[in-house]
Structure 1
Amino acid sequence: MIPGTATSETLTDLIDPARARAFQIAMGQTPEIETGSALPPFFHQLYFWSPEPPENLGRDGHPRVGEGLIPDMGLPRRMWAGGRLSFEASLIAGKPAEKISEVEQAQHKTGRSGPLGFVTLRHDIYQDGKLCLSEWQDLVYREDADPTADPAPIIAARTDETDRRDMEFDTTLLFRYSALTFNGHRIHYDLDYARDTEGYGGLVVHGPLLAQVLMLMAQDLIGPLRRFSFRASSPLLHFERASFCRAGETLWVRGPDGRQCMTATAES
């Protein structure tokens, strides 16, 4: 375990319905959330901002690691690799809520591409003193991209879905999602940085945004969610059209070349 400079963090926020409606508009949905409405699953990502001044940011636009909750793993590239959620009650728009976060795990490993750092954060969100949801967020830290290295192997996605929805993510949607979640990671809006520094072929669609689409799809098809987990396997880029697929409790995101970008399971 690698200690950080803080063992836990508590943030409070008024769950402003206007922010949730703005996200619904950005996603092409009817803006129907009002004070007293139950938030859709994962909309809590829009809240509990923790802004830092420019001098406290790293090169990637995120708050510099090692000075807050997340320890410094000694590796420059950050990715949200996946997560798990347990839903106990809906968050209600227009009421204050509290998020308590802690580092559950931080460790180094060696992978095919070199050294890796793994950090797992746990977030518990309360409203009116009642636990509404628990979330485990898995982050991976890596070395800078090696332009001479062989490309990562492609995992082929399943093609046996019973339900499918296709969606595109243009630069405007990526900007709006970054703004609404106060996510400064430059891979989502700075093409030169994403390509030249981190080695991507374009802007990267946020992993949580892909997971959000899968969650909304799962809720539409199987009802209110009790559990949801997801794992990213390949980045989706801003110029690519993705297929969001489901078979039973399993969901996945397929890229236009057939590769697997994300897998998930949902329980209602």
Structure 2
Amino acid sequence: MSLTFRRLYSSSSATSIASQFLSKSQSPQTQTQLLDANQLQRFSATLSRTELARALPKNGTPLPACYHLAYFTPAQVEEELGWDGTDTTFNPPRPFTRRMWAGGELEWVGGENNTLKVGQEVTETTKLVSAEGKKTRAGEEMVVVGVEKKYENEHGVALIDRRNWIFRPEITTPQTPASKPIEVPLPEGKHVRDFLQTPVTLFRFSALTFNAHKIHYNREWCREVEGHRDLVVHGPLNLINMVNFWRDVRGGDIFPKKITYRATSPLYAGEKYRVVMDEEENNVTAVKIVDSYGNTSMVGKIESV
């Protein structure tokens, strides 16, 4: 893969850059969108959720928890995207340009009486709420950015989605592809569901969320530039699969009250992994995703109404 690597032209610390970025943060950004049935049907097909994929959902059909991620997608033209294809709307300055989805919190503040539904006109308001310089376990500097998104329909705010992104320094030297570890048995639990994502699923999920991040569809980029062993599974896709599993175990078209989650290790296409979920205790269900090599890839807590 022929590449011309950019030179880093900032020696400022992550803490300094994060502070400057936060002080110069832009005003909240808004976009209004019709929650159309076509997008929901195709998103459901991508997730292999046949209950909403076999026929076009009718107006008034509730969006299942976290399916709002198929809407309000980035609108940047290609020339404005990052070198790795990422949306740069809330990026700190270089050299911290390598974005990764770190986790977040979702809260259905509208309750059961105000959920997002097909046919509604909804406004998303996004604002920068935090930026902090930190270091990885290996000592590499990074900037952690937090944004808050509010979704408001004719009845008021239905959902608040708080997201954390990690921004690491851009790559100036190609990384050596990681080797595959030795497989170990997947863990057992009260409730388990296994997944193995294909490049087709990752491509369709990227397309529907308008996510051009190359780590999800360009195997050459993954292996020869970023040092991954294969295509990386989207963090939001893992979140949705966790929540869908919770919904299936609980039964019915239910909504959580609140979800907190944190991504801890990447998952790759073609590799089996498992969602492990405990029984609910004090209205809270603990859930995690573990890969075939003993790594915990995501942890979360789902609070019921």
Residue equivalent to 2:282: none
Name the residue aligned to 1:25: 45
- SS at structure 2 position matched to 1:140: strand
SS of 2:277's equivalent in the other structure is: strand
Contact persistence 1:10–1:101 (CA under 8 A): yes
| Superposition RMSD in Å | 2.5
SS at match of 1:258: coil
Query: Which residue pairs with 1:133 in the alignment?
Result: 159
Structure 1 residue runs without a partner (length 5+): none
Q: CA offset at residue 224 of structure 1?
A: 2.4
Asked if 1:59 is matched to 2:103, the reply is no
SS in structure 2 of the partner of residue 226 of structure 1: strand
Q: Is the 8 A contact 2:102 2:164 kept in 1?
A: yes
Q: Which has the larger radius of gyration?
A: 2
Structure 2, unmatched stretches of 5+, are: 1-18, 280-284
Pairwise CA distance, 1:110: 2.1
Native 8 Å contact 1:69 1:102 kept in 2: no
Deviations 1:145-187 (A, max 9, x none): 8848x99xxxx99935100111111000000000111111000
Partner of 2:293: 257
Counterparts of 2:103 and 2:209, CA distance in 1: 17
What is the aligned counterpart of 2:128 among 95, 100, 103? 103
SS in 2 for 1:202: coil
Please list the CA deviations of residues 54-87 of structure 1 after superposition, one character each: whole Å capped at 9, or x if unmatched.
Answer: 2111111123x3xx44432632321001111001
Number of residue-to-residue matches in the alignment: 263
Aligned partners of 2:94 and 2:130: how far apart in 1? 12
Structure 1 residues 247 and 158, CA gap change in structure 2 (3 angstroms): farther
Measured in 2, the distance between the counterparts of 1:226 and 1:129 equals 18
Asked whether the 8 Å contact 1:73–1:117 carries over to 2, the reply is no
Could you state the TM-score of these two structures normalised by the residue count of structure 2?
A: 0.80
Q: 2:117 aligns with which of 64, 69, 92?
A: 92
1:113-155 C-alpha deviation (Å, 9 max, x unpaired): 310110001000011141110011010011338848x99xxxx
The one of 244, 248, 253 aligned to 1:216: 244
2: CA distance, partners of 1:108 / 1:73: 13
Cα distance in 2 between the residues matched to 1:157 and 1:90: 40
Q: Give the distance between the partners of 2:81 and 2:69, measured in 1 at CA.
A: 20
Quote the offset at 1:34 in angstroms: 2.2
**CA spacing shift, 1:126–1:57, aligned 2, 3 Å:** same
Distance in 2 between the 1:207 and 1:261 partners?
Answer: 9
- 4+ residue segments displaced more than 4 Å: 145-148
Give, in angstroms, the shift of residue 196 of structure 1.
1.6
**What is the deviation of 1:37?**
0.3
Q: 2:91·2:97 contact (CA, 8 Å) conserved in 1?
A: no
Q: TM-score of the superposition, structure 1-length normalised?
A: 0.90
Superposed, 1:32-43 pairs within 5 Å as 33-43=57-67
Matched position secondary structure for 2:189: coil
Counterpart pick for 2:196 among 165, 168, 175:
168
Identity of aligned residues (%): 27
Which residue type is aligned with residue 117 of structure 2?
I
In the aligned structure 1, how far is the partner of 2:202 from the partner of 2:75? Answer: 19
